[in-house]
Amino acid sequence: MTHRVAIVGAGPSGFYAADGLLRGQPGLRIDIIDRLPTPFGLVRAGVAPDHQGTKAVVRQFDRLLSQPDVRFIGNVEVGRDITWDDLRKAYDAVIVATGMVIDRPLGIPGEDLPHVWGSWKFIAWLNGHPDFRRGPDLGCVRSVAVIGNGNVALDVARVLAKSPEEMAKSDVVPEAGEAIAAAPLTDIYVIGRRGPEHASFTGNELAEMGRLARAVALADPGALAAEPPADGPTPERLRKAKNLEILRGFAANRAGAKPLSVHFLFSATPVAIRPGEIDLSTGTLPADLVVTCIGYRGEAFPQGEGIFSVGWARRGPTGTIPTNRADSHAVAQEVLGWLRDRDSKNGPYPLPSSIDVEGWRRIDQAEVAAGAAQGRPRVKVTDWQRLLRIARGE
Ligand code: NAP
């Protein structure tokens, strides 16, 4: 009897796990379960909508969904529609690939104010996630404080700073794109609590901030005296040296050269947030919108025999999409080792009604067709019920 593996979470780490399993044991039966009726997790909802090159990885994942022994089981939430225990009984192994989708709190006064947004919610809104259809009111937003010095902070700052023309080929949801285009934005502050030598930006993403049509990137030259660390792994040292070089280029830019300024601030710890302002350890800044980009938490999942985890659910919220390939492949080897010594359970199979790959393809086609009419890669369907109706061919 062929073994049956459930992968919970249809994001990149889950698909790379499926890929690793099939490379090691072609013919294994794999069900990829997701609470959404759409696959691809963070690639669909978390990668910035203007980074279509990054999103192109879904073509590899989509090919896996065409394999006869791989099933997509969408619109099924483990813990609500089926218990973890039932899954363990039905499958020979369960791989948890649920990522991390809860914004970490800053833990300072004022962070519950309505103009303070976590990056997960903010980017999910830009990306048309059906649970996050309402975005911030940008009507009077001139100044934005983006907290954090990672690539997510750059994603948020960049999408706010880009002109409508620069966003024209993105799949930002129209209502978010229009709200950003209409906002009276003048200043975006990207705020790091440590010095620039500690920023976790990567070079390509940081350099992109220097090439925006309507925004000039600025940095205080006094903050850039730091040297990259003399020790540590070479790629990290090179990355940090490159960041400092790019930031020194920003420090040479002329303030006011473009209608919008993106200020890179360092050694500035957020202390308190009030309507229209944020207090940092270095002083107070205007901030009509605050977006915290300081990492994520995940939901707890059961541990135990036959349960494995991959991606951010296993490692925490660090690493790019390609990082997950090697990581998930290694876990897939562990799973295959575990299965090797066991007969298939061939247990009861209590999966509730779901959206399958054909349902997803109907959604995909509808979105791509709507996008084609506007010269965009797709226009996302953001309403749960509409997603389900399209998937069911109604
Ligand atoms: P990250 O790189 O870990 O950055 C988190 C930032 O939040 C750090 O600068 C951290 O500062 C700061 N921070 C944490 N707690 C804070 C607090 N209480 N107050 C102020 N600042 C605080 O994580 P990320 O930006 O969320 O990205 C997650 C992963 O996805 C990363 O591996 C990233 O490279 C990847 N990603 C890649 C891309 C891309 O390739 N284009 C795009 C988006 C995300 P400290 O360093 O001082 O802790």
Tell me: the pLDDT tens digits for 151-184?
Answer: 999 999 999 999 999 999 999 999 999 999 999 9
- Please, what is the angle between helix 357-372 and helix 384-391, to 10°? 110
187 Cβ inside 6 Å of ligand 1: no
Element (H, E) at 236: helix 234-251
Exposed, middle or buried, 115 (CB in 10 Å: 0-12/13-18/19+)? buried
Per-residue pLDDT of the chain (394 residues; tens, 9 = 90+): 799 999 999 999 999 999 999 999 999 999 999 999 999 999 999 999 999 999 999 999 999 999 999 999 999 999 999 999 999 999 999 999 999 999 999 999 999 999 999 999 999 999 999 999 999 999 999 999 999 999 999 999 999 999 999 999 999 999 999 999 999 999 999 999 999 999 999 999 999 999 999 999 999 998 898 787 778 788 999 999 999 999 999 999 999 999 999 999 999 999 999 999 999 999 999 999 999 999 999 999 999 999 999 999 999 999 999 999 999 999 999 999 999 989 988 766 667 789 999 999 999 999 999 999 999 999 999 999 999 999 999 9
Domains of the chain: 4-101+298-355 (3.40.50.720), 104-294 (3.50.50.60)
State if residue 100 touches ligand 1 by the CB under 6 angstroms criterion.
Answer: no
What digits encode the pLDDT tens for the residues 216-227? Answer: 999 999 889 878
Tell whether ligand 1 has an atom less than 6 A from the beta carbon of residue 198.
Answer: yes
- For residue 116, the surrounding DSSP H or E stretch is strand 116-118
Of ligand 1's listed atoms, the one at least distance from the Cα of 200 is 2
Dmax (CA) of the chain: 69
Contact 288, 141 (CB under 8 A): yes
Q: How far apart are CA 389 and CA 373, in angstroms?
A: 21
Pocket lining: 190 vs ligand 1, CB cutoff 6 Å: no
Residue 116 identity: V
Question: Going edge to edge, which strands form the sheet with 289-292?
Answer: 116-118, 289-292, 143-147, 187-191, 260-265, 215-219
Q: Among 135, 101, 147, which Cα is nearest to 120's?
A: 101
For the CA of 152, the nearest atom of ligand 1? 25
Structure tokens at 368: 């791509």
Cα 194 to averaged position of ligand 1 atoms, centre (Å): 12
For residue 149, give the ligand 1 atom closest to its CA.
9
Compute CA distances 331 → 11, 178, 286, 309, 344, whole Å.
15, 42, 47, 8, 19
Rounded Cα gap, residues 236 and 229, in angstroms: 9
Give the residue from 191, 198, 196, 218 showing the smallest Cα distance to 279: 191
Q: How far is the CA of 255 from the centre of ligand 1 (A)?
A: 27
> How far apart are the CA of 64 and the centre of ligand 1, in A?
30
Instruction: Give per-residue pLDDT as tens, 216-261.
Output: 999 999 889 878 777 878 899 999 999 999 999 999 999 999 999 9
Q: Which of 52, 54, 151 has the most ligand 1 atoms within 8 A of CB, as the residue to mutate?
A: 151
Ligand 1 neighbourhood includes 292 CB (under 6 angstroms): no
User: Residue of the nearest CA to atom 16 in ligand 1?
Assistant: 294
DSSP codes of every residue in 268-323: --EEEEETEEEEETTEEEEESEEEE-S-EE------STTEEE-HHHHH-S-S-TTH
| Residue 188: strand pairing partners | 144, 262
Is there a contact between 371 and 174 (Cβ–Cβ < 8 Å)?
no
72: Cα separation from own chain's centroid: 21
Is the C-beta atom of 294 inside 6 A of ligand 1? Answer: yes
Does the beta carbon of 2 sit less than 6 angstroms from any atom of ligand 1? no
pLDDT score recorded for residue 348 = 66
Cα separation of 5 and 201, whole Å?
A: 36
What's the pLDDT at 151?
98
Atom of ligand 1 nearest to the CA of 295: 26
Q: 305: CA distance to ligand 1 center in Å? A: 33
Ligand 1 atom closest to the Cα of residue 198 is 46
Give the global pTM.
Answer: 0.97
Positive or negative, the Cα torsion across 300, 327, 73, 134? positive
Best mutation site among 156, 273, 294, 323 for ligand 1 pocket (most ligand atoms within 8 Å of CB)? 294
